[in-house]
Amino acid sequence: MATRLEQWVDETARLTKPDNLVWCDGSEAENDRLLGAMCDDGTLTRLNEELNPGCYLHRSHSSDVARTEHLTFICSDQPADAGPTNNWMAPAEARAKVTPLFDGAMSGRTMFVVPYLMGPPGAPHSKVGIEITDSPYVVANMRTMTRMGQVALDQLGGGDHFVPGLHSLGDLSPERRFILHFPQDRLIWSVGSGYGGNALLGKKCFALRIASTMARDEGWMAEHMLILELESPGGQVDYIAAAFPSACGKTNLAMLVSPLEQLGYHVRTIGDDIAWLRVGDDGRLWAVNPEAGFFGVVPGTNDHTNPNAMRTIQTNTIYTNVAVDESGVPWWEGKSKTPPAGLTSWQGTPFAGEGKAAHPNSRFTAPARQCPCISPKWEDGQGVPISAFLFGGRRARLVPLVAQSFDWNHGVLMAAMMGSEMTAAAVGEVGKVRRDPMAMLPFCGYNMGDYFGHWLRMGARLTRPPLIFTCNWFRQDASGNFLWPGFGENLRVLLWMLERARGTGAVVETPIGFTPAPGALNLDGLDVGAATLAELSRVDAEGWRQEVADTRAFFAQFGDRLPADLTAQLTALEARLG
Ligand code: SAT
Ligand code: MN
């Protein structure tokens, strides 16, 4: 009897009609072969072999440069199960519409069967996915982003427990592009895009959208969060998980360089994008990074903003949509003040100084193990215990530098109220504020009203819950200057959060939560005056009343799927604002 995997591969090959079929084993030799073939046919360009050994450039189609949320669907039986913030398509309609796009889509191409593991090998909660794709670029990326090949088949052990994901480049036309999730079947279909979260199905499609529905059913959490490790003088180690919308500095925060290293404060990385969290026997929440690599935004990355990322992406990295100089060294906005002469833009044309040389959503794909500050615990199958959650966005006004919620349920409200100015990570209106609860708006695989309820229920099960904070590194003064230096200095905010977790750390009580009392943040060696600090923490009641009204309107769309507790929290906040 053929296994479920063999049957599915067989069926898929009959539908997509590839010229060849390759089962990927994840080996070095296989990877070398694939990279070589992609260099030969122009899919990849080898970068400077001395300065960037093992690095390649890929240029995607110019209409395929970011996630396309309007072409991303949750195909649950009932529209109410996808909820008002997701696009919904009936499963039968989705199959009828998209099957023809897969029909013969791989003829003239090779079909790769890519077994992969989300989570460390051998760990009890790691999960197997199988991606079938006709893109060798996707295969190479999956090899970096996940544990790919034999290791995943070993974990599967001949069983039936895997999440199938079918991907084809199709004709790359946005007219015929669909990213479909079938939560009941734990199945993913993606056609028409070769880019990032649209095509590397282990990431947003599995580890967030499908995993969030599994987590709801099984009592755990799949969140869009970095995980970082903080060691204090004396050796105490704590872990923080933080959620920010795409392209708001998660990778920078995850790899933060401690400005207080001399004093014994060390920061290490567990993950930069996704956290899977479970309740431990000790009543704490334990987090695992299911990924094995970083798919980070390149522009703005430099030795000041993220020296650890700079070192991580020096070797064995696939760059997508960056510019390149005459000697084959990649370049992007923010790498140096002025572009080098003789630059070729991300579109492969001579860069004349107009527009951007690298696409604003250009990315690096790099192995996590290359990160100089990766924690020795990053592949621990038990995970790490989380002391605090941090929710942030990009807001020029209103939201203070940091605030602590009064308790878990109030924290869930704060996280659900999150808004952020949109970035280039998704196709849309860059700069416009949109509500992005828990930074999960594009990634929650079910009704977000139910998702809020899941958060409330999880809190009730935790005897030692993480404290919940919100932050905003991006607040500006009236002339548009950032008030807070950001980057490594964000550590000072994290240290105050840890003090709060230990029951110390002075606060001011405001209607929206606790903010640091004057003098409570360690600002040694930092040039931030008292007036600036006061402005950073200022709570503008009128502005917040407007924020409450916006939130009420946002919440209204969830109707009776919105937990009553959340409405009660919002009403209480409104009352505190007076
Ligand atoms: O393209 S991805 O979805 O993987 C990146 C992101 O939006 O965070
Ligand atoms: Mn992300």
Q: What is the pLDDT of residues 522-549, one digit of tens each?
A: 999 999 999 999 999 999 999 999 999 9
The closest residue, in CA terms, to atom 4 on ligand 1 is: 197
Q: Is 249 in the pocket of ligand 1 (CB under 6 A)?
A: no
**Whole-number pLDDT of residue 392:** 95
Q: Is 194 in the pocket of ligand 1 (CB under 6 A)?
A: no
What is the greatest pairwise CA distance in the chain? 73
Q: Please state at what angle helix 541-556 crosses helix 564-577, rounded to 10 degrees.
A: 160
**Whole-number pLDDT of residue 299:** 97
User: Residue type at 211?
Assistant: A
**Whole-number pLDDT of residue 476:** 94
Q: Please state at what angle helix 448-461 crosses helix 564-577, rounded to 10 degrees.
A: 90
The predicted model gives 290-311 an average pLDDT of 97
Q: Is 363 in the pocket of ligand 1 (CB under 6 A)?
A: no
Joined tokens for residue 504:
């110390």
pLDDT band with cut points at 50, 70 and 90 for residue 429: confident
Atom in ligand 1 nearest the alpha carbon of residue 426: 7
Joined tokens for residue 458:
């999880």
- Nearest-angstrom CA–CA distance, 279 and 163: 23
Q: pLDDT tens across 191-206, in order?
A: 999 999 999 999 999 9
| For the chain, percent of residues with pLDDT exceeding 70 | 100
pLDDT surpassing 80 at residue 1:
no
Q: Let me know: does 313 contact 366? Beta carbons within 8 Å.
A: yes
- Nearest-angstrom CA–CA distance, 232 and 234: 6
**Whole-number pLDDT of residue 131:** 98
Catalytic residue among 24, 55, 205, 248: 248
Mode of pairing for the β-strands spanning 110-118 and 127-133? antiparallel
Nearest in space to 70 (alpha carbons), one of 55, 88, 82? 88
Is 205 an active-site residue? Answer: no
Q: pLDDT tens across 73-112, in order?
A: 999 999 999 999 999 999 999 999 999 999 999 999 999 9
The predicted model gives 321-327 an average pLDDT of 98
Atom in ligand 1 nearest the alpha carbon of residue 67: 1
Nearest in space to 74 (alpha carbons), one of 162, 163, 176, 185? 185
Mode of pairing for the β-strands spanning 56-58 and 318-320? parallel
Q: Of 190, 295, 423, which is best to mutate to test ligand 1, by the most ligand atoms within 8 angstroms of its C-beta?
A: 295
Please identify every residue whose CB atom is under 5 Å from ligand 2, which is an ion.
Answer: 246, 273
Joined tokens for residue 161:
């427990």
Joined tokens for residue 531:
């007036």
With tokens 């923010």, the residue in question is 334
Atom in ligand 1 nearest the alpha carbon of residue 195: 1
**Whole-number pLDDT of residue 4:** 96
pLDDT band with cut points at 50, 70 and 90 for residue 562: very high
The predicted model gives 433-450 an average pLDDT of 97
The predicted model gives 368-382 an average pLDDT of 98
- Span from the CA of 267 to the centroid of ligand 2 (angstroms): 21
The closest residue, in CA terms, to atom 5 on ligand 1 is: 197
Among left, alpha and beta (phi > 0; psi -120 to 50; other), residue 157 is: left
Ligand nearest to the CA of 141: 1
Q: Quote the pTM value.
A: 0.97
- Nearest-angstrom CA–CA distance, 536 and 400: 5
Where do the DSSP E strands lie in 101-210?
110-118, 127-133, 147-148, 163-168, 178-182, 187-191
